């Protein structure tokens, strides 16, 4: 664990209970789903493609070096 950092996605509930606890990225799935539907409807109406950036949140836990003062870097 001191030589390898592991991170996951989706911030599933079990991530916090693993040993070591898994660092994950939390994603707003409801917002993503809404944006997908809006984009598809726009495309069907003939609008051009667009780029969408969805904010995510890093949840640092013990599986990465961020656990000991590294998060501020």
CA distance 29 to 56: 10
Tally the C-alpha atoms within 13 A of residue 70's C-alpha that lie toward its C-beta: 12
- Among residues 26, 35, 19, 32, the alpha carbon closest in space to that of 60 is found at 26
So what's the pLDDT on residue 25? Answer: 94
Q: Report if pTM > 0.75.
A: no
- Among residues 26, 24, 32, 34, the alpha carbon closest in space to that of 54 is found at 32
Could you tell me the sign of the dihedral formed by the alpha carbons of 26, 6, 17, 68, in that order? negative
The predicted-structure confidence for 12-27, as pLDDT tens digits, reads as follows 989 988 888 999 999 9
The predicted-structure confidence for 26-63, as pLDDT tens digits, reads as follows 999 999 999 999 999 999 999 988 888 889 999 999 89
């Amino acid at each position: 664990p001191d030589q390898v950092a592991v991170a996951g996605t989706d911030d599933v509930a079990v991530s916090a209970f693993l040993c070591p606890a898994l660092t994950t990225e939390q994603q707003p799935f409801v917002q993503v789903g809404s944006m997908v539907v809006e984009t598809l409807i726009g495309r069907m109406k003939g609008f051009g493609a667009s780029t969408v950036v969805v904010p995510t949140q890093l949840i640092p836990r013990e599986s990465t070096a961020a656990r000991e003062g590294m998060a501020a870097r």
